[in-house]
A = this chain, B = another copy of it.
């Protein structure tokens, strides 16, 4: 029998509800029942579409990763030149903190969970790799860094930039004042000011 799409795919509804719940209450505080009742679907449907809890949450990570990578890529592709791309990367993280804190919280929470759940770890590690690759491609390639950065592989530099933006985001996220702290982001620009070739 063909897969029908009568009105709206239930598995999509479950998935989006799961994302909403997780980004609002956190991994440790969300149950399958929460997601079921919130999405107006029987509990057994969750296991029907996604085997078990880990299966469902794996799919959530997958979704989250896709959104991250897509948005990040769009952001950087829209700018031309390493310097402009750096600026757009910074503003994307600012936007993340200010306008999309839920997505960011989801990211942070899953990063922590991935320390304990091997299958999550694999996914999140992959996400970090893709992100650093993207930074390498867009910002570090065809660019000569300031002199004191000789000897560092572009992979190391990219990892550092991503780490700095991510780590700074977390601090701002936790802090009480979200405004004055934004200055830190800008440091990426000053530190890695690229000279175009």
Contact = CB atoms under 8 A, between A and B. Distances in A.
A183 interface: yes
Which of A109, A116, A124, A162 neighbours the largest number of chain B CB atoms within 10 Å of its CB?
A116
Contact of A152 (B108, B165, B171, B183): B183
Interface residues of A, number: 51
A80 interface: no
A66 interface: no
Interface string A99-120: 0000001001101111110000
A190 interface: yes
A28 interface: yes
Contacts of A157: 184, 187
A164 interface: yes
A149 interface: yes
Contact of A108 (B111, B128, B175, B184): B111
Given A168-B163, A193-B148, A173 B115 contact: yes
Interface in A69-128: 105, 108-109, 111-116, 121, 124-125, 128
Nearest to A121: B174
Interface of A: 25-29, 105, 108-109, 111-116, 121, 124-125, 128-129, 132, 148-149, 152-153, 156-157, 159-160, 162-171, 173-176, 181, 183-184, 186-188, 190-191, 193
Given A26-B112, A128-B174, 15 more contacts: A25-B116, A26-B113, A26-B115, A28-B116, A108-B112, A125-B176, A132-B171, A152-B186, A156-B187, A159-B181, A160-B187, A163-B165, A163-B166, A164-B167, A166-B170
